[in-house]
Structure 1
Amino acid sequence: MNPRRRPLRLGLTGGIGSGKSTVGSMFAALGGSLIDADQLARDVTGPQGAAMDAIRATFGADFVDASGALDRARMRALVFSHPEARAQLEGIVHPLVTLHSNAMAQQAADQGHALIVFDIPLLAESGRWARRLDAVVVVDCSAETQIKRVMQRSGLAREVVQGIIASQASRTARRAVADAVIANDRDCSLEDLRLQTRQVATLFGL
């Protein structure tokens, strides 16, 4: 009997408003096992989440809301003005995300999935994922497309969205780490996006 081949681990990333989550759901519909790193981070910082005792001990009770979850607005303000606070928060949250994502990846492998897709918003900004991935797919679009999409879906002011984009890796930096790029500008239909995703999935053995 041939040993089961190790599933390919694919990193999926893109800037805010790029359509990365939509592409992730398309990979899942094609049979890939999708692991959402951002959702795992929200889980461990949610009410009574695994990170909350350490967050309370490090930052104080003011950063925990009434439900026992991270006060995201207060923490967001702190980390924007104090980079060392961001490093402290990541030092608490990232190991837990890694632990949970490893467990989910092992479960997917045990179930026979050929492709595991890690949805990682800040993949290009973080060096910690590189050794865990076999390839990277970037969902790419112009900054103007990002701005219009996020303003439409979230009601945020243009300057707020521009600030978020500026805090993320540049379009050039994301494309530099890509093994494949899915183009999703405003003229890209959902069907075209689905076709591109299917082509990339085939390229990586799905």
Structure 2
Amino acid sequence: MIRLGLTGSIGMGKSTTAAMFTEAGVPVWDADAAVHRLYGPGGAAVEPMRTAFPAAVTDHVDRPVLKAIIAADPTALARIEGIVHPLVAADRDRFRPQTDLVVYDIPLLFERGIPVDATLLVTAPPALQRARVLARPGMTEETFALILSRQMPDREKRARADHVMETLEMDATRLQVHALIRYLRSHA
């Protein structure tokens, strides 16, 4: 099985590209979806987070409250990551579909050094990235800047990626996804 790590900074088209792999019949594991499951009612992160951050937990982890805690306490993010990242890794390790190709959609793929067989970076020009992100409900310039400060710069990700795909236009991106699937399967 080929494990393709899909990554890209915020607003680069990663979720849209992941959906294109799914449409093409390739199983996709989504790190963000895993965190949502872990934070949801009965999720494996709820009790550890309740112990560490009781104000942020009811029957689930309240992400807006957690965001406020992170803003107020510079040590909070590292403590949260210490709880959540091992749980996300365990969730990822349990994802083993019986197929020749699987995609792992991981925003912090390079930052965390996640082992995969090949990497795909989706990217877009900075102006397009900014426009996409600021069009999201509730997004501000400050939040966008904070998120970018926590992510590896796009130029560094480009240097590390095995494959780079610009997500300028949907049909062109879909063609690139199908071409990459064919390439990976022919080189397995």
Whether these two folds match at TM > 0.5 is yes
- Provide the residue aligned with 2:60 in structure 1: 69
Q: Does 1:84 align with 2:75?
A: yes
Deviations 1:20-44 (A, max 9, x none): 0111111122221100011001110
Alpha carbons of structure 1 residues 177 and 77: separation in structure 2 relative to 1, 3 Å: farther
Alpha carbons of structure 1 residues 163 and 86: separation in structure 2 relative to 1, 3 Å: closer
Q: Does 1:125 align with 2:111?
A: yes
Pick aligned residue for 1:115 from 91, 101, 110: 101
Alpha carbons of structure 1 residues 83 and 116: separation in structure 2 relative to 1, 3 Å: farther
Counterpart CA distance in 1 for 2:130 and 2:77 is 25
Q: Tell me the number of residue pairs that the alignment of Structure 1 and Structure 2 aligns.
A: 186
Alpha carbons of structure 1 residues 138 and 52: separation in structure 2 relative to 1, 3 Å: same
Coordinate RMSD, CA, aligned: 1.8
- Provide the residue aligned with 1:4 in structure 2: none
Counterpart CA distance in 1 for 2:180 and 2:71 is 36
- Provide the residue aligned with 1:44 in structure 2: 38
Structure 2 length-normalised TM: 0.90
Alpha carbons of structure 1 residues 85 and 159: separation in structure 2 relative to 1, 3 Å: closer
* Runs (4+) off by over 6 Å: none
Pick aligned residue for 1:95 from 77, 83, 86: 86
- Provide the residue aligned with 1:178 in structure 2: 161
Counterpart CA distance in 1 for 2:146 and 2:46 is 28
The percent identity for this pair of structures is 37
SS state at 2:52 partner: helix
Quote the offset at 1:158 in angstroms.
Answer: 3.2
Which consecutive residues of structure 1, in runs of 5 or more, have no partner in the other structure? 1-6
Structure 1 length-normalised TM: 0.83
Contact kept? 1:124, 1:173, Cα under 8 Å: no
Quote the offset at 1:200 in angstroms.
Answer: 1.5
Counterpart CA distance in 2 for 1:134 and 1:64 is 37
